[in-house]
């Protein structure tokens, strides 16, 4: 008997400022657990080179996205740097029914919305070592122009100090130790008694012998 | 910067019925973390072969133990199978002042006492796969006579169904996965924001650039 036989699916919600290394760390996490699935968000932004529809995001028009909001098909959505991103209720429902653990890579606004209705989700915030290193990483990836970098830094300065309500803070200073900490969080949360207390059901007060 | 620079020492409290493998798992845990120390309990029972005073336990007389209770030097104590076991306040104070994480291998009664005054301690309960396997392991170690085995089983049947209040349940079916789960719990708890929120202090709302 393993703990996973006896519990509901868990939502792991990961946020971070742009440049903190969230995308790479989420990929590592998905690769480390055969029984953890990445939730695919809906997005209105243009597909970037190498991205695939239905894999990286479900790419939709602004109109289609607005329709999903109006029809209450989204459990969270947010405007980030001028584009809309959201998670569909259907994604969570399918995972819950299958008892699947789901990894949600979403921004702080979306995470705060989710927190209201999914109290038992696990909220993880990835921190850069400091602002100087964050800016260095944003410049280092060479994908954003100066205005975008400044906007991302401004967002980081709003988001990081507000991250206190997350359950876990992981500093991505050394990538490998951040990776191990995330793996540990998933493993540990799967052992939490609030999720696995039915393990005890077979041990009745008089024994099951 | 690692998380451990920015937080108070954590108390990890591990309980389990006799035969669940707690002693071996605690040893593995101590071996896995150079910055986790085992708390040494006071005990009135006779030293067993291979045990060392001040290493396995502080072995004391029943009179000396009673004096510690009277002088409120113990944060928890319990009678287990006719012997007294307890943890001294001094042990916890020294660890707290040094910012050291401490592993307490104590029984359910002691853990319940600690829970009242140390809300932020982490309580872990190790489960056997089932009662049949537990009895098999107790017989297999060949150290206890029939009466002791029956008493241990009776205790297990009281303790396990009451373990719901612990933070984590770890099933020791496969020793290696139980070991990894315990390591993950220690690693993850060190990232909890309730312990590390001061990581955010350096990220003021306006940035520290």
Mutate to test the interface with A, among B188, B190, B209 (most CBs of A within 10 A): B188
Percent of chain B whose pLDDT exceeds 90 = 75
Specify the pLDDT at position A203: 87
Each residue of B33-70: pLDDT tens digit? 999 999 999 999 999 889 999 998 999 999 999 999 99
CB contact (8 A) between residue B1 and residue A173: yes
Does B205 contact A158 at a Cβ distance shorter than 8 Å? yes
What is the phi/psi pair of residue A131, to 5°?
Answer: -65, -35
Chain A touched by B51 (CB under 8 Å): no
- Cβ distance A169 to B199 less than 8 Å, yes or no, reads yes
State how beta strands B42-43 and B36-38 pair.
unpaired
Residues of B in contact with A188 (CB under 8 A): 168, 181, 184-185, 187-189
The partner residue sitting opposite B193, judged by closest CB among A2, A153, A169, is A169
Rounded Cα–Cα distance for residues A93 and A165 (Å): 25
B158 touches chain A (CB under 8 A): yes
Chain B: give the shortest CA distance to residue A26, in Å: 16
Interface pTM, i.e. ipTM: 0.90
Q: What is the pLDDT, as a whole number, of residue B94?
A: 87
Do A173 and B5 form a contact (C-beta atoms < 8 A)? no
Domain ranges of chain A: 3-198
Q: Which of A185, A193, A205 sits opposite B161 (nearest CB)?
A: A205
Q: Does domain A3-198 have CATH number 3.40.50.300?
A: yes
Second-level CATH architecture of B7-196: 3-Layer(aba) Sandwich (3.40)
For chain A, which residues score pLDDT lower than 70?
1-6, 205-209
Report long-range pairs for A89-98 (Cβ below 8 Å, ≥24 apart): A91/A39, A91/A40, A92/A11, A92/A39, A92/A118, A95/A9, A95/A11, A95/A37, A95/A39, A96/A8, A96/A9, A98/A9
What's the predicted TM-score (pTM) here? 0.91
Task: Give yes or no for A193 touching B (CB within 8 A).
Answer: yes
pLDDT in tens, B96-112: 888 899 999 999 999 99
Condensed to tens digits (0 to 9), the pLDDT of residues A30-87 reads 999 999 999 999 999 999 888 999 998 999 999 999 999 999 999 999 998 789 999 9
């Amino acid at each position: 008997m393993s703990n996973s036989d006896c519990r509901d699916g868990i939502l792991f919600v990961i946020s971070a400022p742009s440049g903190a290394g969230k995308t790479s760390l989420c990929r590592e996490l998905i690769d480390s657990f055969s029984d953890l699935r990445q939730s695919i968000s809906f997005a209105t932004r243009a597909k970037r080179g190498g991205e695939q529809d239905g894999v990286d995001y479900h790419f939709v028009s602004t109109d289609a996205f607005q329709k999903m909001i109006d029809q209450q098909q989204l459990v969270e959505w947010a405007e980030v740097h001028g584009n809309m991103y959201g998670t569909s209720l259907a994604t969570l429902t399918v995972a819950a029914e299958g008892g699947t653990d789901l990894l949600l890579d979403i921004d702080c606004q979306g995470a705060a919305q989710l927190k209201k209705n999914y109290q038992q989700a696990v909220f993880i915030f990835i921190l850069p070592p400091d602002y100087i290193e964050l800016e260095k990483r944003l410049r280092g990836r060479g994908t954003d122009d100066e205005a975008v970098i400044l906007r991302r830094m401004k967002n980081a300065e709003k988001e990081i100090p507000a991250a206190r309500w997350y359950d876990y803070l992981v500093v991505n200073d050394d990538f490998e130790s951040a990776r191990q900490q995330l793996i540990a969080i998933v493993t540990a949360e799967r052992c939490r008694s609030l999720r696995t207390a039915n393990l005890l059901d077979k041990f009745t007060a008089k024994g099951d012998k």
